[in-house]
Amino acid sequence: MPANRNALIRYKTIDTCLRNRFRRWTLSDLVEACSEALYEYEGIDKGVSIRTVQMDIQMMRSDKLGYNAPIIVVDKKYYTYEDPEYSITNIPLSNQDIARLDEVVQILKQFSGFRHFQDMSEVVQKLQHKVHIHQHSQRPIIEFEKNELLKGLNHLDALYQAVLNRTVLEITYQSFRAKAPSTFLFHPYLLKEFKNRWFLLGKRNQETTIMTLALDRIHTSKALPEESFSEDGNFHPSDYYRDIVGVTNTNTPTEKVVIAVDKYNAPYVTTKPLHHSQQIVQANEDGSVIIMICVKINFELEREILGYGDSMHVLQPSRLKLRLQHKLKRALNAYEHNE
């Protein structure tokens, strides 16, 4: 049973007393110290009973909380630690604690671009390295996708602070299609991650449409707190991304996209839908399926479908079907010409 807050205050107070080797502590002294601590931290003025402190000492001696404190009584009167270096704050981590820390480190690594997460990750990594790896030399049991060479992650924390504090940014940006970078004022609203890439959503100065910037295309960013920030009360991330796959909102009508999936990939598509609107409109005897999603057609959707190769093909709408046919023919020609 976990100790409550008052008990933890008493344990810490007893620990502080017993670590003080320049004074001899009787049971009455410990009762008085615990009473003063509870009054100071919690405003409790009714004091602590001798029975309570005796039970606290027994709890600290036991392994119920993992303390196993070496509390002894000298001359049948004075309480102290047999080991002068002992403290309940120096308790070694259990194997279960180490396993949890190991998982936490792996999760925190996904946020390495954020300053506060990075600092925490470094602390936990030190614990993991000194305790887990050094003592047990166990291989990882959980692995996350990451790309440490991805450009633009150095901007993450500054952009996060700008979104949080509603600060205008001066950004120098160069898209893949642009011949040269351009500099403009930007009002950031949201940071978005998709397939291990980060994007910043907001508006350019004096413009009304939402713009999506890839962090790996940002050259520089500078906070301009003196500039007036332009809010957009109509921008809600959940609504903005409701009808799209990925990050690109084309501001076009939502369409019904019907896709045939072969029997080999049908289990993957049904267990990991392309979009939350996905429905199975036909399940065939051979295991193949026909699915339908209601989305805005964009670049990421096309890439997702093309990624399945010949195991998936679009039935409707005809515009998307013809566009993907054209891309596949170009890909085939590229292979044939390189033979």
In whole angstroms, give the CA distance from residue 137 to residue 307.
38
Highest CATH level, class, for 153-240? mainly beta
pLDDT of residue 89: 81
Q: DSSP secondary-structure letter at 16? A: H
The verdict on pTM exceeding 0.75 is no
What are the 10-residue block averages of pLDDT along the chain, 339 residues in total? 72 93 93 92 88 94 87 94 88 63 59 53 50 49 56 81 92 89 94 87 89 92 92 88 90 93 92 93 94 94 91 94 92 80
**What pLDDT is stored for residue 63 in this prediction?**
84
Topology (CATH) of 255-337: Alpha-Beta Plaits (3.30.70)
What pLDDT does 100 receive? 64
E strand residue ranges, 133-181: 168-173
- Fold match between 153-240 and 255-337? no
Of the candidates 87, 76, 157, which has an alpha carbon nearest to the alpha carbon of residue 117? 157
Q: What confidence score (pLDDT) does residue 5 get? A: 80
Write out the two tokens for 113.
């671009």
Please identify which residue in the block is written with the tokens 């450009």: 151
Query: Where along the chain do its domains lie?
Result: 5-90, 95-136, 153-240, 255-337
Residue found under tokens 């109509």: 234
- Which CATH number is correct for 5-90, 2.40.170, 1.10.10, 3.90.930, 1.10.287? 1.10.10
